[in-house]
Amino acid sequence: MAKQVVTTVCFVLFHCIISYWAFMSSCSIHSSTKIIIPDIARYFGTKGRYEEVNAYLIDDILAINNSLVTLPSSKCSEIHLTVIIRHGTRYPTIKNIQKMREFHDLVVREATGNLNCLSEIKSQWKMWYTDDMDGRLVDQGREDHRHLAQRLIKWFPSLLTEENVRQGRVKLITSSKHRCVNSTIAFREGLMKGLRSEAKLELAVNDALMRYFDQCERFVKEVENNKSALEEVKRFHEGPEMKRVMEKMADRLEVPYASITDDSVEAGFFLCAYEFAIQKLNSPWCQLFDEVDAQVMEYAGDLKQYWKRSYGHEINSKSSCILFHDLFHRLDQVVAEITKNSDAIVSEAVTVQVGHAETLLPLLTLLDLFKDDIPLSSTNFATQHNRIFRSGNIVPYAANLLVVLYKCPEGIRMGVRLNEKSLTLPGLTDPVPMYEDVKTRYSTLLKGCDQETVCKINS
Ligand SMILES: *[C@@H]1O[C@H](CO)[C@@H](O)[C@H](O)[C@H]1NC(C)=O
Ligand SMILES: *[C@@H]1O[C@H](CO)[C@@H](O)[C@H](O)[C@H]1NC(C)=O
Ligand SMILES: *[C@@H]1O[C@H](CO)[C@@H](O)[C@H](O)[C@H]1NC(C)=O
């Protein structure tokens, strides 16, 4: 008896020591026992983790949270789902890898400050990003899509079925970019695993739909290839808030102010964001920014998205007319099938389209979502503190727009979710409105918004 107590005490004690040791070592950047989230992670914008917008996924990546979703009455049943998804977590592009390398070199060569993180960067951190990584999907990005597919099976168990896959009622469409193709392949893996299916499911590449922005001549000329279209972004980079971030950085590194440019602070911020998104590390780079610095960096990123992909210029959203019409055309077809025969099996139950942040943002803008009363500009950082246009909330990695049709006794209803949270379309009060009311709301776009007309340049 006594021996048993002693054994138990020893065991408990041993356990405590082990737990304590595990806790302590988790503070080291090399441990994977517990992930420490950088304090500034919510400011990473388009380089942010999906888990930052849905924190319940941190404990269980396959969880779904019903309290975030509004459903129509239980007399309704789901008849169709369209999902438009951004690719998963990726490596930096070559341009940013080069900026990161330059900043790392500068820190190693010139920084004399005595912050802990500086000695860590100098003695332990290796510049492991290489040019050939250029925007490629990372393992985490594959996981993002596998898991999303598995959650969608839980969300829509009557639509994402083995039967629907086998009968060709589930379609996969992707942008031709390797990160999107590989995301779609990972999505398919998640789907097949979740459904225990061995059916064949091909993916179709369609850049006219998923990279419409390349093919809209007016957008390319007036925004993409036009420096003055992003004048506000440039002004903010030269403005007092950014200057302060640069000075604080120079003070921390103890280098001359002239050594630090907007590119340097951007590179440092990206290093923190990428090390976290790709490797789950709270890297020493993150210590070079306080919260206000991170808010300024976030605003610089949001300004760019705003002027290049969103409300800044009308052509940004109009360039997505082709994707808008593709969506409503499909929904109309589903409604027509059901109207003809209310017991019909819908021929396209689920459509999955994989693209970019640049695919999603203009479409959300066309729908009038996330529109602040006052435009984002180079001079209103302070008053835009509570803006709704936050790219980190809207288009993190694996961001997804879900459009659901329901068959109800009173007719067809439509629900919209962004990142697995219900949205009420602006101008409508019902979170799951009648489909006809949605069409009335967007009637101007449905009658016009013709890609040919919108994108053509009359010379
Ligand atoms: C679901 O989301 C709500 C609102 O964000 C949150 O309060 C709640 O904890 C989440 N539920 C679970 C099970 O995590
Ligand atoms: C990702 O896609 C590219 C091109 O489609 C391919 O060459 C590569 O092998 C893929 N990577 C993985 C790990 O699947
Ligand atoms: C470039 O953008 C500016 C500002 O929006 C605009 O005034 C100008 O017309 C654009 N230039 C071209 C060539 O479209």
pLDDT tens readout for residues 314-334:
999 999 999 999 999 999 999
Residue 155 CB less than 6 A away from ligand 1: no
The span from the CA of 325 to the CA of 86, in Å, is 19
* Closest ligand to residue 183's CA: 2
Query: Rounded to whole angstroms, how far apart are CA atoms 436 and 414?
Result: 9
The bound ligand whose nearest atom lies closest to the alpha carbon of 223 is 3
Distance 64 CA to ligand 1 centre (A): 9
Reported confidence tier of residue 33, pLDDT bands at 50, 70, 90: low
What's this model's pTM, rounded to 2 decimal places?
A: 0.91
Q: How far is CA 37 from CA 29, 61, 75, 148, 279, in A?
A: 11, 16, 43, 21, 12
Give the tokens for residue 4: 């048993």
Last residue of a domain, one of 276, 298, 314: 314
Average pLDDT over every residue of 124-144: 97
Instruction: Say yes or no to pLDDT of 21 above 80.
Output: no
For residue 451, what is the enclosing H or E element?
Answer: helix 451-455
Mutate to test the pocket of ligand 3, among 221, 224, 228 (most ligand atoms within 8 A of CB): 228
Let me know if residue 9 belongs to a domain: no
Domain CATH number, residue 452? 3.40.50.1240
Specify whether the CB–CB gap between 354 and 175 falls below 8 A: yes
Q: What is the pLDDT of residue 35?
A: 83
Which of 65, 70, 151, 417 maximizes ligand 1 atoms within 8 Å of its Cβ, making it the mutation to test the pocket? Answer: 65
Query: Which of 420, 442, 441 shows the shortest CA–CA distance to 70?
Result: 420
Answer with the one of 314, 333, 354 that is the final residue of a domain. 314
List, in sequence order, the alpha helices (H) in 26-64: none
Rounded to an integer, what distance in angstroms lies between the CA atom of residue 291 and that of residue 385?
Answer: 13
The answer to whether residue 38 is domain-embedded is no
Q: What is the mean pLDDT of residues 20-48?
A: 69
Q: Would you say 49 and 396 are in contact if contact means Cβ atoms under 8 Å apart?
A: yes
- Protein residue closest via CA to atom 4 of ligand 2: 178
The ligand minimizing its distance to the Cα of 227 is: 3
Last residue of a domain, one of 287, 314, 341: 314
HSE at residue 137, side-chain half, CA atoms within 13 A, is 25
Angle between helices 240-253 and 291-309 (to 10 degrees): 140
Tens-digit pLDDT profile for residues 435-449: 999 999 999 999 999
- Is residue 230 domain-shared with residue 339, that is, in the same domain? no
CA of 154 relative to ligand 1 center, distance in Å: 17
Pocket of ligand 3 (CB under 6 A): 221-222, 226, 228-229
Tell me if 5 is assigned to some domain: no
> Domain residues for 262?
93-134+218-314
User: Which residues does the annotation mark as catalytic?
Assistant: 87
**356: CA distance to ligand 3 center in Å?**
25
